[in-house]
Amino acid sequence: MATVIVDGIQVEVPDNATILEAAKLAKKEIPTLCYHPDLPAIGACRICVVEVEGEPLLKTACNTNVRDGMRIRTISPAIREARQTALELILSRHPQKCNECVRNGTCELQALASRIHVGEISFPYRQRPGSPDVSSGAVGRDPSKCVLCRRCVQVCEVIQSVGAIAVQGRGYDAWIDTPFSRALSEVGCVYCGQCVDRCPVGALFEVSHVERVWRALQDPEIHVVVQTAPAVRAAIGEEFGLPPGTLVTGQMVAALRRLGFDKVFDTDFTADLTIMEEGHELIGRLRDGGVLPMLTSCSPGWINFIEHFYPDLLPHLSSCKSPQQMFGALAKTYYAQKAGIDPSKIFVVSVMPCTAKKAEAARPEMKDSGYQDVDAVLTTREAARMMKEAGIDLSKLEPEDYDLPLGVSTGAGVIFGVTGGVMEAALRTVYEVVTGKKLEKIDILPVRGMEGIREAEIELDGLRVRAAVAHGLANARKLMDKIVSGQADYHFIEIMACPGGCLSGGGQPYPTTPEIRQKRAQALYEADRLLPLRKSHENPVIQELYREFLGKPNSHKAHELLHTHYTPKPVYG
């Protein structure tokens, strides 16, 4: 431990701590811009400078380690001048069009300018090179708004190991760009949106589906249904001032109903269905000598990643569609038949924590209902934005229940939103289907947690099934390399593209930090614990769906509607 003094306040911190961490213990908040708790600190923006007694130059607090006896000042005339100059230089390359920006009100640069009180900017405005790019249909870029914090570059390279963007040029003339200045749709971008989540301004954003949803809601000829992903209920309350991890399932349903949706359904229903299909697919591979290990296929960012970087491993993927796409296919077939509605008049909207879901819905394979299965995808942020525009305060509403029949789900469905949840849900069902015995310990703790890669074993009627869980694509890459080298001694692997799983997807409320991630995870586990049914195969509506419509898991009809194939994609072109 080291003893340091911050603005006259003595604190003890680990001797490898930074000045920024020491200041937090002293209840002093040092302003930052390029810093993010998930990423290596690089001191690029120079906003967090402080004075250290005995040192002639200002130090960046985010990446300067403390030493025993260090005396630190976080505010002084020199510090104020340095921060104001740094901020003016940043603003001189940033367009002053806040009212037109999607981040208006949540922009970190906007908040920083308000805190540091920059008056007239001393430097002339000079636009950064590059044009807006929304070619991917999921993640958009506006290089003119970039503040060169490099967070996007770091998360893409360090956390996701994709490298779709990088710093080009040097110094004042540097900018962020794709390889060879190509569109995002032409490089190895997986559309996970982690760059959007880390970007402090509006330089990165989701491609909006809000207007197409408004148009559908205002058309009296269209029957508009909405599905809500598991992770949304643990995060959307943050958009209305509620603490992170507040579970608002019923209030969210009420708010969506007030927006004008004809039916409010739950993606957890098709999460349960995914477990039935994927679980039986795994059983078939184990019994019949199929390709192992089998990889989960629920995360579209992960699907894009394996298509780009490990196309030779595509046979390992489960052929199951994601719960979002299973829902869309059923909404325009099974639900349309039961409700007596022309499927051409059904408009399916998803509320998802994920930006990659927008691109997934547009894939040419996703039309097995005879129509585009999912018509529009709203991120959690976009859904909240629509509620606010309509004057709906979710936090003040009384809870309401999902509509039937596609609104009934189990605890296994809700934990899909957290890393390890798909694995846990699958093992709950596979164990009971294979052994015919009741699983006494429903909570499968070895697959829970936030470690990048986790392993577990479960006994299935004499067969030990070895499973692994990875979240964040850099961790997925480690497991894929083990498969390639023949070192992966697993039967089943769950991959989630985003750190922590869907609960920290690229479309979730700002910010997502390790602490917020943990609170959202706790909320989903609590939702699972409180539900009367916690195993997917116990869902009575799923059982009815098979009796009335699908026949049995992995049947011919189930394969027609609920399964798909994947395609190798070049990294460039």
Residues acting as catalytic residues? 278, 281, 298, 318, 357, 360, 365, 502
DSSP state of 3: E
Q: In 400-558, which ranges are E strands?
A: 453-460, 463-471, 492-496
- Cis ω for the linkage preceding 77 (within 30 of 0): no
Say if residues 384 and 242 touch (Cβ distance below 8 Å).
no
Tell me phi and psi for residue 168, to 5 degrees. Answer: -115, 145
Query: Any idea of the CA torsion for 111, 157, 140, 47, to the nearest 10 degrees?
Result: 20
Tell me how far apart the alpha carbons of residues 446 and 469 are, in angstroms, rounded to a whole number: 10
> What is the residue whose two structure tokens read 């909404």?
331
From residue 172, how far is each of 45, 96, 123, 354 by CA, in Å?
Answer: 12, 19, 12, 34
Q: What angle do CA 431, 300, 555 make, to 5 degrees?
A: 50
252 vs 57: CA distance, rounded Å: 52
Determine the Cα–Cα distance for residues 197 and 152; give it in Å rounded to an integer. Answer: 9
Q: Which tokens in the block code for residue 297?
A: 């296929």
Tell me the residue type at 537: H
Q: Which of 268, 320, 348 is nearest to 535 (CA)?
A: 268
CB 374 within 8 A of CB 226: no
Q: Do residues 63 and 30 lie in contact, with contact meaning Cβ atoms separated by under 8 Å?
A: no
Backbone angles phi, psi at 73, to 5 degrees: -115, 130
Q: Are 63 and 18 in contact (CB under 8 A)?
A: yes
Q: Is 98 helix (H, G, I), strand (E, B) or coil?
A: helix
416 burial (CB, 10 Å; 0-12 / 13-18 / 19+) is: buried
Instruction: Give the residues across from 252 on adjacent strands.
Output: none
What letter represents residue 157's amino acid? E
How many whole angstroms separate alpha carbon 417 and alpha carbon 507?
A: 13
Residue 68 Ramachandran class (φ > 0 left, ψ -120 to 50 alpha, else beta): beta
- Residue 359 to residue 139: CA distance in whole angstroms: 9
Tokens 């692994």 correspond to what residue? 468
Q: Following DSSP, what letter does each residue of 309-371 receive, concatenated? A: H-GGGGGGB--BPPHHHHHHHHHTTHHHHHHT--GGGEEEEEEES-SHHHHHHT-TT--TTSS
